[in-house]
Amino acid sequence: MINNKIAAQIIAESQFMQDILTGLQASPKFMQAKYFYDRAGDLLFQKIMKLEEYYVTNAEMDILTKQSGKIADLITSENTPFDLIELGAGDATKSIHLLKELSNRKLEFSYMPIDISAGIISQLEDHLPKTLPGLSVIGLNGDYFEMLEKGTTLSSRRKVVLFMGANIGNMDVAEAEDFCSTLRASLTKGDILIIGFDLKKDPKQILAAYNDSHGITAAFNLNLLTRINRELNADFKLEAFEHYPFYDPESGACKSYLISLKSQEVRIGEEALIHFEAYEPVYMEISQKYSLQDIEEMAIATGFQFNQRFFDEHNYFVDAIWTVV
């Protein structure tokens, strides 16, 4: 068991090295947002979610606290056992409201949180059964689809998939469509997807959410350099890079970059020396914003039937309910 764990860790580390080198040797340079979430990244993201400027969490929290009853009605309208699979569960601070609602109904279901962060999964497996006694929690640590496949083979119950927190927004539109089509292929007719989209709104409000005045989002992005230094034996100087977010109201793409503040070389392990030009950008993350029409079209294009929508009080955010057709 321990040997399996060590082997899995070695494979994960070499994949991390490979992905970082691929991104930094490409032109333009990029990093994969899924690597943000080491222990420090998890904590920084939890801080971001509490920021006034980061309206996304409050908006979706408003939906979950006030409308979980109605969402649970939809899930349980077919009165059969099910598995609730959450993709990128994080600390489940929002989904816990739905879990409470479903637990109160004494229905037979298991909660399967999927997350790439091992720390998050063990935290959920430890805390959730204490908060909601009797809740069956099956944590799945790894990448979305690999773990979804594992989750779907664990039982033949119908599936309800949660994909919240605008995680879909961390893909560009084409990637999001591919993602939803692949997800559709792992599911069966009648299964339900509950998916969160951040809506297009005042561009100034969107930009402020990714450029907070406390510098937490900047620290979150720069933390990936700290992680690379530690885990891949690199020598990034954090003060030589700066967080730069940018929102394009036409396409709805809000993109974050780290800008190299000078011409510099960075060593990564024994493997590589990476050259950065002065003011060269490293693309870090996208947070794509959608219109209601974009969302409806995506459901249809990817093999789902658009079912219901739940909005927060300001109409900043929507949790859409799609059914597999």
Ligand X SMILES: C[S@@+](CC[C@H](N)C(=O)[O-])C[C@H]1O[C@@H](n2cnc3c(N)ncnc32)[C@H](O)[C@@H]1O
Min separation Cβ 221 and ligand X, Å? 13
Residues in the chain: 325
Task: Determine contact, residues 185/153, Cβ cutoff 8 Å.
Answer: no
Which of 45, 55 has the CB closer to ligand X? 45
Min separation Cβ 323 and ligand X, Å? 21
Q: Which helix (H) or strand (E) holds 174?
A: helix 173-186
Which of 119, 303 has the CB closer to ligand X? 119
Residue in the structure block whose two tokens are 């970059």? 257
Min separation Cβ 235 and ligand X, Å? 26
Taking CA atoms, 85 is separated from 23, 121, 154, in Å, by 30, 13, 12
Which of 146, 235 has the CB closer to ligand X? 146
Cα-Cα-Cα-Cα dihedral sign, residues 292, 294, 295, 301: positive
Angle between helices 39-50 and 118-131 (to 10 degrees): 60
Which of 61, 272 has the CB closer to ligand X? 61
Min separation Cβ 275 and ligand X, Å? 29
Min separation Cβ 106 and ligand X, Å? 26
Min separation Cβ 94 and ligand X, Å? 5
For residues 29 and 37, what is the distance between their CA atoms, to the nearest angstrom? 20
Which of 114, 194 has the CB closer to ligand X? 114
For residues 44 and 168, what is the distance between their CA atoms, to the nearest angstrom? 20
Taking CA atoms, 173 is separated from 81, 156, 183, 251, in Å, by 34, 31, 15, 9
Binding site for ligand X (CB under 6 A): 34, 37, 45, 88-90, 94, 114-117, 120, 143-144, 164-165, 167
Single-letter code of the amino acid located at 167: N
Cα-Cα-Cα-Cα dihedral sign, residues 291, 296, 301, 304: positive
Closest residue to ligand X: CB criterion: 165
Q: Which helix (H) or strand (E) holds 14?
A: helix 2-24
Which of 90, 252 has the CB closer to ligand X? 90
Which of 58, 76 has the CB closer to ligand X? 58
Min separation Cβ 258 and ligand X, Å? 18
Residue in the structure block whose two tokens are 């949790």? 319
